[in-house]
């Protein structure tokens, strides 16, 4: 009996050695026949029972060898199949240069925001942020814009219908209030962020845009500090030849208040249609922090003074890159965005 099996194994060995699969189906057939759960290797191991004990060792060795042969042949068929497949797929010239990956570009608003922030960081300002859904106190009341204050009308507001007290912030000045309420003095912050107003969309206005707010509160902060800080910013941002001027203005949360103009970047001050032939363009509002605002936030207005300013990022970006239509920023037109690659 045992010799019969050994003879059989010798035949299988011969069959395996001469077997040449033509395709993947042949290989699979081979696997099932020899290595499958009801295959030859399994059934030969089952025969072990009928082998007399004194021959089991010899039989076991032969059987193991046979199993290894069957398995290693199967592996080599598989490797061949894989090599075959990849040979079929390589129809192109692999030495050709690869398709270049297109690099994206930063959005111009992000570019300018980062530049503004980094200029102020260099002189000790740190970033502060606040929520875009604000409450009435932080967006208006704490800033001296009480419920009936006419200045509210200038900022057409989106109200949140779920709560009478909630608005989409109309400016980043709300972050000033939050910082003054929470932070230890002195405070020197720069607050970039998105703001919302219910404006008719046009080349010059949108229902959302971006601002950067600045605030400095300490002992003995003066209007001279405000002017010098903004002058430094303007030169860093637009170059050494830029000129600035301050015009008196009104904001409920600063006293005195001013608007700052820069000499027109397009005509250098000669007069053109961008500066409406004045040679100047307005870029920000600013002033000395109103004592009532300080007190509203729990700061002693006799011991501390401060300055604040707020500017629109879209406006500065339009001036810097001579963009004529504000809607370009949110249209996602790749032809527009591509122009900022590498900046
Ligand atoms: N929040 C004002 C606006 O959106 C801009 C502004 C003006 C901010 C004067 C300031 C400031 O901090 O001092 O129109």
pLDDT (tens, 9 = 90+) of the chain, 343 residues, equals 678 888 999 999 999 988 888 888 888 999 999 999 999 999 999 988 888 888 888 888 999 999 999 999 999 888 877 776 666 666 778 888 888 888 889 999 999 999 999 999 999 999 999 999 999 999 999 999 988 888 888 889 999 999 999 999 999 999 999 999 999 999 999 999 999 999 999 999 999 999 999 999 999 999 999 999 999 999 999 999 999 999 999 999 999 999 999 999 888 889 888 889 999 999 999 999 999 999 999 999 999 999 999 999 999 999 999 999 999 999 999 999 999 988 8
Which pLDDT score is estimated for 84?
67
* Residue to mutate, 254, 285, 289, 307, ligand 1, most ligand atoms under 8 Å from C-beta: 285
How much is the pLDDT for 89?
Answer: 67
Residue 225's Cβ-count burial label (10 Å; 0-12, 13-18, 19+) is middle
| 285 within ligand 1 shell (Cβ under 6 A) | yes
The answer for residues whose C-beta is within 8 angstroms of residue 69's C-beta and 6 or more apart is 13, 16, 17
CB of 286 within 6 A of ligand 1: the answer is yes
Q: How far is the CA of 92 from the centre of ligand 1 (A)?
A: 61
> Cβ(287) to ligand 1 under 6 A?
yes
CA atoms 264, 270, 273, 277: torsion sign: positive
**69 C-alpha to ligand 1 centroid (Å):** 84
- Verify whether ligand 1 is closer than 6 Å to residue 265 (CB atom): no
308 CB less than 6 Å from ligand 1?
Answer: yes
d(CA 215, CA 301): 15
Q: Is 312 in the pocket of ligand 1 (CB under 6 A)?
A: no
Q: Which atom of ligand 1 is nearest the CA belonging to 143?
A: 1
| CA-angle at 141, arms to 260 and 157, nearest 5° | 75
Number of neighbouring beta carbons within 10 Å of residue 89: 8
Distance 242 CA to ligand 1 centre (A): 22
Distance from Cα 177 to the centre of ligand 1, integer Å:
12
Q: Measure the CA–CA gap between 26 and 132, rounded to whole angstroms.
A: 67
Q: Which residue, by CA, sits nearest to atom 6 of ligand 1?
A: 310
Test site for ligand 1: of 253, 256, 259, 305, most ligand atoms within 8 A of the Cβ: 253
As to burial, measured by CB atoms within 10 angstroms (0-12 exposed, 13-18 middle, 19+ buried), residue 131 is middle
The per-residue pLDDT for 4 is: 86
Distance from residue 22's CA to the centre of ligand 1 (Å): 80
Q: Which atom of ligand 1 is nearest to the CA of 195?
A: 4
Residue of minimum CA distance from atom 2 in ligand 1: 310
Question: Distance of CA 112 to CAs 75, 77, 172, 196, 201, Å?
Answer: 61, 62, 17, 19, 22
- Site to probe by mutation for ligand 1, drawn from 138, 213, 226, 260 as the one with most ligand atoms within 8 Å of Cβ, is 213
User: How many residues in the chain?
Assistant: 343
Q: Which among 125, 169, 171, 225 is the best mutation to test ligand 1's pocket, defined by most ligand atoms within 8 Å of the CB? A: 171
How far apart CA 297 and CA 301 sit, in angstroms, is 10
Q: What is the pTM of this model?
A: 0.72
Which residues pair with residue 218 across a beta bridge? Answer: 305
d(CA 145, CA 170) in angstroms, rounded, equals 12
What per-residue confidence (pLDDT) applies to 213? 98
> 313-340 as b/e, with b when 16 or more CB fall inside 10 Å?
bbbbbbbeeebeebebbeeeeeebbeeb
Determine the Cα–Cα distance for residues 112 and 313; give it in Å rounded to an integer. Answer: 7
Position in ligand 1 atom list of the atom nearest CA 215: 12
> Packing angle between helix 40-47 and helix 56-89, nearest 10 degrees?
170
Residue whose CA is closest, atom 7 of ligand 1? 285
């Amino acid at each position: 009996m045992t010799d019969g099996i050994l003879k059989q194994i010798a035949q299988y060995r011969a069959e395996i050695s001469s077997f040449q699969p033509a395709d993947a189906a042949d290989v699979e057939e081979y696997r099932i026949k020899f290595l499958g759960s009801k295959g030859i290797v399994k059934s030969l191991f089952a025969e072990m029972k009928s082998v007399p004990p004194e021959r089991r060792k010899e039989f076991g060795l032969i059987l193991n060898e046979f199993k290894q042969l069957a398995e290693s042949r199967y592996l080599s068929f598989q490797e061949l199949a894989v090599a075959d497949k990849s040979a079929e797929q390589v129809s192109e010239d692999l030495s050709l240069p690869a398709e270049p990956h297109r690099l994206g570009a930063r959005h111009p608003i992000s570019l300018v925001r980062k530049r503004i922030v980094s200029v102020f960081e260099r002189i000790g300002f740190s970033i502060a942020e606040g929520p875009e859904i604000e409450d009435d106190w932080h967006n208006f009341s704490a800033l001296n814009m009480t419920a009936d204050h006419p200045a509210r009308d200038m900022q057409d507001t989106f109200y949140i219908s779920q709560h009478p007290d909630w608005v989409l912030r109309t400016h980043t000045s709300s972050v000033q209030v939050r910082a003054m309420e929470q932070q230890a003095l002195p405070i020197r912050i720069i607050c970039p962020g998105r703001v919302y107003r219910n404006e008719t969309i046009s080349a010059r206005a949108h229902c959302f845009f971006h601002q950067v707010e600045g605030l400095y509160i300490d002992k003995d902060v003066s209007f001279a500090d405000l002017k010098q800080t903004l002058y430094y910013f303007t030169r860093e941002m637009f170059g050494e030849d830029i000129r600035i001027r301050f015009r008196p203005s009104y904001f409920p949360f600063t006293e005195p208040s001013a608007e700052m103009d820069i000499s027109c970047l397009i005509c250098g001050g000669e007069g053109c249609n961008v500066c409406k032939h004045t040679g100047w363009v307005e870029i920000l509002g600013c002033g000395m922090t109103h004592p009532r605002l300080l007190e509203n936030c729990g700061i002693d207005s006799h011991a501390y003074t401060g300055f604040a300013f707020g500017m629109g990022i879209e406006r500065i970006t339009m001036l810097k890159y001579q963009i004529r239509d504000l809607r370009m920023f949110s249209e996602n037109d790749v032809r527009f965005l591509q122009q900022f690659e590498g900046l």
